[in-house]
């Protein structure tokens, strides 16, 4: 039991409550063993691993051409980012070149993925705070409606809606079909307009403010110490975005703002993500405007398992996924399979902050904080 | 602070080997110095951000632990690598320096069986408590003979 | 009512009670459909559509399903309390309709303290609710029951205060008198006081019925479903029906107190229809609030009640008294 805070008054009985792994706001399979005094939480033990599939062992047994489609199953809500991290690690060791068009396509799908993932975050977070029988469901269903449009775009691009296998070492697998650009533009316009509707529903809503302001504050020092990343880190006052600080895949070609808030509470995370929505849409538009002609991959399409051989070496490639730094640490031994792969899931580090901020809040705040952290358990448990 | 300055500072410490080249500053640290070097990296070089830590199984050469820490303001990445040596599974914990090492080291213990000395709460994290063996070791068979997933 | 003299008063009460109960159960079933359809439209969905034309038979299908479901009793539950709780919960929720006149002379018992009876009986549901939470022997249910006691006690006070404004304006606690007093001007149209009292009534009503944003005792994303988490089958249906009965009862009360009860155009036999339509309008208002807002926390709910709503309704009551005195003084 970590972080037990002794509260100095007598006459209160402690209650141990098991929240999860089967719980409506467990966001998958999270289990928090809460110690309660009344409604106040005095200690929490976070239990994870219910979705563990040992991706890292699996990666040692699968070839470089096979694993990208498995990598999408780590963070299944943002599969594009996970795939990209893996192929970038392999490209980094092997010094494989990626054509400009492929880089732009990677940016486009990753930003679309960010919009889709943030839509799911907003919906499920409101569902956590508003309940399946309340206003939260309304926001959730609106968000899902918009997310469907992006999944439709992915479907016409890849043929799959959730787990794509779009990236391959050296480029991407599929070029955009005819009419996709127009469809994409229409969708972006629609979503941008709908974002305004969500904001008018939430932004000055007194109930929303009461649930989120000052709740689950992560200081910038704690955030860095634990390795919290992405929107959470930026909401804690650290201006750090891999797309800006360590550009990959031609992100330096695009103009976008990196939102930073200093409060570090749930509302700050909400504001950061709401800006990110719009910035992602802006990047997608820039990609569509400036998409260069040319090949989509420097290597031929996948024909055999031994097709990609990566020389001996190691590399750590990271991308700014919707939830933060998705990193792939790859040790290659010269064969067609990695010797060792370490997956740094953004949600794993983000979730690790919970034992530090949950003691002292109430039961109702736990779900608000959980939702604002936006963990995906495929990535936490890997 | 720049990467070059960090390299220079780190190479002044006796016992460390600083690898040359590459955007990240890679330091090979003897295990007994790991905690003090980590504290130095955090305080002096300003690497407050704990990205991740893990281990690599070099078969006959034993385990090696790897930790990535970063200075987000100046874009410096320092990689702390410590070879535990063949047959050795003990390593000092980084939790007193970086709180984020808590779950990462629990995972490393879970997967490799590395005993982190000074870790406040070294339990399995991803696998169940009654699991046999440490699956990411190269000696661990893929078609596991161990319960409960025989 | 000619011919009733031959029948005993008990028989009359039984028959009229049976008629009201039967009509009410039908109404309740379809009110759930109304809520689901309304919510669906709000959320750009269609709602129940498969059972019968436009899903019109859905409530019946739901009822049959719940009747056929297995009754699960948790091993560690306090079985007597657990089994009794839905009934204790359900009875006061239905009983509130006893004092409701649906038209002049049409009702079970038009008590001369009708409003008081309504308010007293409707807060009885908390007994069943707490029994359900306690008897389930489930931590979520227990926390929910604790919250329920907190919340319902806190919100019954402002609810009563808001309901007292029309009572004072009409000068009677008898619901039919209040309805008659609104023949000229509905109390919601009474300058300033009427609208403020109606708003306070709706806010306190939403809280007293445990609907979002005040549904902390159900709170399925925190407490799963709170006090009813262990219930299944018909026992669950009883709790659900009881809740809807309470909401509809409050809607009828709102329509009676503020919207002129059965007053409406057309012949007088249309009165009950007008009354029902007005009650459903109030219900839709409750539903609209429910599906628009996020839930707030228990401490915030309590502070809203004690620090904001109660003082305001007390002031409103005082203002009403002043207005009445001034107007009667002007008349005298």
Are the beta carbons of A137 and C299 separated by less than 8 Å?
Answer: no
Tokens matching residue C310: 């109660």
Task: Kindly report the nearest CA distance between residue A29 and chain B, in angstroms.
Answer: 12
Are the beta carbons of A344 and B51 separated by less than 8 Å?
Answer: yes
CATH assignment at residue A74: 1.10.645.10
Tokens matching residue A375: 């963990």
Question: pTM of the entire structure?
Answer: 0.85
For B127, the closest of A49, A224, A325 (CB atoms) is: A49
Residues of A in contact with C219 (CB under 8 A): 131, 364
Element housing A114 (H / E): helix A100-130
Which chain C residues have any C-beta within 8 angstroms of a chain A C-beta?
39, 42-45, 139-140, 143, 211-213, 215-216, 218-224, 290-300
Task: Kindly report the nearest CA distance between residue C213 and chain A, in angstroms.
Answer: 7
Is the CB of A51 inside 8 Å of chain B's CB atoms?
Answer: no
Average pLDDT value over all residues in chain A: 86
Residues of C in contact with A127 (CB under 8 A): 221
Are the beta carbons of C291 and A137 separated by less than 8 Å?
Answer: yes
* pLDDT score at C2: 45
* pLDDT score at A11: 53
Are the beta carbons of A57 and B136 separated by less than 8 Å?
Answer: yes
pLDDT at A345 exceeding the cut of 60 = yes
For residue A366, give its domain range: 53-379
Is the CB of A52 inside 8 Å of chain B's CB atoms?
Answer: yes
Interface test with B, best of A225, A232, A382 (most B CBs within 10 A): A225
Are the beta carbons of B72 and A238 separated by less than 8 Å?
Answer: yes
Burial (CB < 10 A; 0-12, 13-18, 19+), residue A325, is buried
Residues of B in contact with A54 (CB under 8 A): 135-136
Interface test with A, best of B99, B110, B128, B142 (most A CBs within 10 A): B99
Interface test with A, best of B3, B52, B112 (most A CBs within 10 A): B52
Nearest chain B residue to A51 by CA: give it.
Answer: B126
* pLDDT score at A12: 62
Tokens 């960090």 correspond to what residue? Answer: B6
Are the beta carbons of C295 and A131 separated by less than 8 Å?
Answer: yes
* pLDDT score at A10: 52
Tokens matching residue C224: 């799963």
Task: Kindly report the nearest CA distance between residue A221 and chain B, in angstroms.
Answer: 8
Residues of A in contact with C44 (CB under 8 A): 141-142, 145
Find the range with the poorest average confidence among A41-55, A61-75, C168-182.
C168-182
Specify if A26 maps to a domain: no
Q: What is the mean pLDDT of each run of 10 residues along chain C (332 residues)?
A: 59 79 83 88 87 87 87 84 89 84 74 84 86 86 85 85 86 82 77 83 84 76 80 86 88 86 76 85 89 83 87 89 80 49
Q: Mind listing the pLDDT tens digit for each residue in A254-295?
A: 989 999 998 888 999 999 999 998 999 999 999 999 888 888
Q: Mind listing the pLDDT tens digit for each residue in A100-115?
A: 899 999 999 999 999 9
Specify if A276 maps to a domain: yes
* pLDDT score at C163: 87
Task: Kindly report the nearest CA distance between residue A35 and chain B, in angstroms.
Answer: 18
Are the beta carbons of C298 and A132 separated by less than 8 Å?
Answer: no
Residues of A in contact with C294 (CB under 8 A): 126, 129-130, 134-136, 205, 207-208, 211
Q: How far apart are CA B113 and CA B88, in angstroms?
A: 10
Task: Kindly report the nearest CA distance between residue C283 and chain A, in angstroms.
Answer: 15
Residue C232 CA, chain-centre distance (Å), reads 23
Q: What share of chain C is helix, strand, coil (3-state, %, to 5)?
A: 70, 0, 30
Q: Which residue has the higher pLDDT, A3 or A71?
A: A71
Nearest chain A residue to C141 by CA: give it.
Answer: A17
Specify if A48 maps to a domain: no
| CA–CA distances in Å: residue C282 to residues A163, A253, C172, C225, C287 | 47, 56, 23, 25, 9
Are the beta carbons of A132 and C221 separated by less than 8 Å?
Answer: yes
Element housing C287 (H / E): helix C271-290
pLDDT at A70 exceeding the cut of 60 = yes
Specify if A21 maps to a domain: no
Specify if A256 maps to a domain: yes
Chains B and C touch (3+ CB pairs under 8 A): no
Are the beta carbons of C218 and A131 separated by less than 8 Å?
Answer: yes
Nearest chain C residue to A22 by CA: give it.
Answer: C224
- Give partners of B (≥3 CB pairs < 8 A): A
φ/ψ region of C226 (left if φ > 0, alpha if ψ in -120 to 50, else beta) reads: left
Specify if A36 maps to a domain: no
Are the beta carbons of A364 and C42 separated by less than 8 Å?
Answer: no
* pLDDT score at A110: 92
Are the beta carbons of B100 and A226 separated by less than 8 Å?
Answer: yes
Are the beta carbons of B128 and A222 separated by less than 8 Å?
Answer: no
Specify if A255 maps to a domain: yes
Q: How far apart are CA A172 and CA A101, in angstroms?
A: 9
> Parallel, antiparallel, or unpaired for β B90-92 and B115-117?
parallel
Residues of C in contact with A141 (CB under 8 A): 43-45
Where do the structural domains in chain C lie, given as residue ranges? 67-330
Nearest chain A residue to C45 by CA: give it.
Answer: A141
Q: How far apart are CA B35 and CA A82, in angstroms?
A: 32
* pLDDT score at A2: 44
Are the beta carbons of A381 and B126 separated by less than 8 Å?
Answer: yes
What is the tally of structural domains in chain A?
A: 1
Are the beta carbons of A57 and B142 separated by less than 8 Å?
Answer: yes
Q: What is the largest CA-CA distance in chain A?
A: 74
For B126, the closest of A52, A222, A342 (CB atoms) is: A52
Closest CA to C248 of C74, C8, C30: C30
For B54, the closest of A224, A226, A329 (CB atoms) is: A329
Q: Which residue has the higher pLDDT, A219 or C186?
A: A219
Give A5's pLDDT tier (boundaries 50, 70, 90).
very low
Contacts with B, A 2-21, CB within 8 Å: 2
Is the CB of A244 inside 8 Å of chain B's CB atoms?
Answer: no
Element housing A357 (H / E): helix A354-357
Are the beta carbons of B50 and A356 separated by less than 8 Å?
Answer: no
Supply the ipTM of this predicted assembly.
0.84
Q: How far apart are CA A78 and CA C180, in angstroms?
A: 63
* pLDDT score at C5: 54
- Beta bridge pairs of residue C271: none
φ/ψ region of A128 (left if φ > 0, alpha if ψ in -120 to 50, else beta) reads: alpha
Closest CA to A283 of A105, A63, A106, A111: A111
Are A157 and A176 in contact, with CB atoms under 8 Å apart? Answer: yes
Tokens matching residue C287: 């539903």
Residues of B in contact with A381 (CB under 8 A): 126
Are the beta carbons of A133 and C299 separated by less than 8 Å?
Answer: no
For C220, the closest of A133, A145, A207 (CB atoms) is: A133
* pLDDT score at A1: 41
Task: Kindly report the nearest CA distance between residue C33 and chain A, in angstroms.
Answer: 14
Q: Mind listing the pLDDT tens digit for each residue in B53-84?
A: 999 988 888 888 999 888 888 888 888 888 88
DSSP class of residue C6 equals: G
Tokens matching residue B93: 């914990």
* pLDDT score at B47: 86
CB pairs under 8 A between A and C: 106
Residues of chain B with pLDDT under 70: 21, 141-150
């Amino acid at each position: 039991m970590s972080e037990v805070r002794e509260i100095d008054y007598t006459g209160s009985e402690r209650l141990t409550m098991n929240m999860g792994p089967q719980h409506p706001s467990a966001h998958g399979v999270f289990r928090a063993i809460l110690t309660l005094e009344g409604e106040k939480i005095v200690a929490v033990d976070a239990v994870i691993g219910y979705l563990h599939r040992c991706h890292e062992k699996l990666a040692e047994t699968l070839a470089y051409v096979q694993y990208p489609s498995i990598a999408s199953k780590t963070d299944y809500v943002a599969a594009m980012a996970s795939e990209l991290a893996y192929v970038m690690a392999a490209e980094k060791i092997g010094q494989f070149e990626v054509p400009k068009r492929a880089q732009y396509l990677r940016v486009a799908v990753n930003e679309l993925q960010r919009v889709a993932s943030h839509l799911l975050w907003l919906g499920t977070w409101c569902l956590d705070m508003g309940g399946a029988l309340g206003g939260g469901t309304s926001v959730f269903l609106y968000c899902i409606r918009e997310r469907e449009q992006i999944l439709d775009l992915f479907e016409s691009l890849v043929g799959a809606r959730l787990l794509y296998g779009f990236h391959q070492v050296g480029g991407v697998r599929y070029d955009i079909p005819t009419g996709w650009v127009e469809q994409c533009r229409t969708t972006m316009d629609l979503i941008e307009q709908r974002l305004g509707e969500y904001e008018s529903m939430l932004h000055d809503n007194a109930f929303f403010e009461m649930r989120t302001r000052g709740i689950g504050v992560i200081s910038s020092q704690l955030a860095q110490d634990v390795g919290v990343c992405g929107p959470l880190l930026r909401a804690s006052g650290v201006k750090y975005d891999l797309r800006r600080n360590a550009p990959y895949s031609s992100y330096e070609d695009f103009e976008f703002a990196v939102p930073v808030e200093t409060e570090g509470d749930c509302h700050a995370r909400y504001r950061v993500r709401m800006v990110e929505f719009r910035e992602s849409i802006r990047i997608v538009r820039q990609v569509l405007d400036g998409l260069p002609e040319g090949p989509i991959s420097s290597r031929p399409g996948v024909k055999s398992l031994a097709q990609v051989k990566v020389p001996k070496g190691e590399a750590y490639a990271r991308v700014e996924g919707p939830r933060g730094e998705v990193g792939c640490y790859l040790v290659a031994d010269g064969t067609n399979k990695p010797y060792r792969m370490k997956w740094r899931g953004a949600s794993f580090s983000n979730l690790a902050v919970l034992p530090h901020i949950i003691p002292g809040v109430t039961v109702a705040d736990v779900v608000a904080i959980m939702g604002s952290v936006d963990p995906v358990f495929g990535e936490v448990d890997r | 602070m720049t990467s070059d300055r960090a390299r220079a500072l780190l190479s002044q410490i006796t016992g460390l080997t600083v690898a040359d080249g590459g955007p990240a500053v890679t330091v090979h640290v003897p295990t007994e110095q790991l905690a003090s070097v980590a504290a130095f990296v955090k305080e002096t070089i300003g690497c407050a951000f704990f990205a991740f830590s893990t281990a690599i199984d070099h078969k006959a050469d034993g385990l090696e632990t790897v930790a990535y820490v970063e200075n987000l303001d100046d874009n410096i990445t320092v990689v702390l690598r410590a070879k535990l040596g063949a047959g050795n599974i003990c390593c000092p914990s980084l939790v007193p320096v970086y709180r984020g090492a808590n779950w990462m080291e629990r995972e490393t213990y879970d997967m490799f069986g590395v005993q982190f000395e000074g870790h406040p709460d070294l339990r399995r994290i991803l696998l169940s408590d009654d699991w046999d063996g440490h699956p990411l070791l190269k000696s661990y068979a893929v078609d596991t003979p161990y319960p409960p997933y025989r | 009512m000619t011919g009733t003299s031959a029948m005993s008063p008990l028989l009359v009460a039984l028959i009229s009670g049976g008629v009201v109960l039967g009509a009410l159960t039908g109404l309740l079933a379809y009110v759930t459909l109304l809520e689901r359809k309304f919510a669906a439209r709000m959320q750009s969905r269609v709602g129940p559509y498969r059972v019968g034309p436009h899903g019109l038979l859905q409530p019946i299908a739901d009822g049959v399903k719940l009747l056929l479901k297995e009754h699960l009793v948790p091993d560690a539950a306090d079985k007597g309390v657990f089994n009794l709780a839905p009934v204790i919960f359900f009875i006061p929720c239905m009983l509130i309709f006893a004092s409701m006149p649906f038209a002049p002379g049409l009702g079970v018992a038009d008590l001369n303290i009708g409003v008081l009876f309504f308010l007293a009986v409707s807060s009885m549901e908390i007994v069943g609710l707490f029994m359900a939470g306690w008897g389930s022997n489930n931590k979520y249910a227990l926390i929910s029951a604790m919250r329920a006691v907190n919340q319902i006690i806190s919100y019954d006070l402002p609810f009563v205060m808001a309901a007292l404004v029309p009572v004072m304006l009409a000068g009677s606690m008898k619901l039919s008198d209040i309805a008659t007093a609104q023949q000229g001007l509905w109390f919601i149209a009474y300058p300033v006081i009427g609208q403020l009292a109606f708003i306070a009534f709706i806010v306190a009503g939403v809280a007293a019925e445990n609907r979002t944003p005040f549904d902390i005792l159900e709170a399925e994303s925190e407490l799963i479903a709170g006090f009813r988490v262990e219930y299944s089958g018909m026992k669950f249906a009883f709790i659900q029906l009881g809740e809807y009965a309470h909401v509809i009862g409050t809607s009828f009360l709102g329509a009676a107190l503020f919207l002129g009860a059965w007053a409406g155009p057309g012949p007088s036999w249309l009165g009950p229809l007008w009354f029902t339509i007005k009650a459903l309008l109030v219900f839709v208002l409750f539903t609209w609030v429910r599906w628009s807002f996020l839930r707030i926390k228990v401490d915030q709910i309590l502070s809203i009640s004690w620090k904001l709503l109660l003082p305001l309704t007390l002031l409103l009551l005082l203002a009403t008294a002043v207005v009445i005195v001034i107007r009667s003084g002007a008349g005298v």
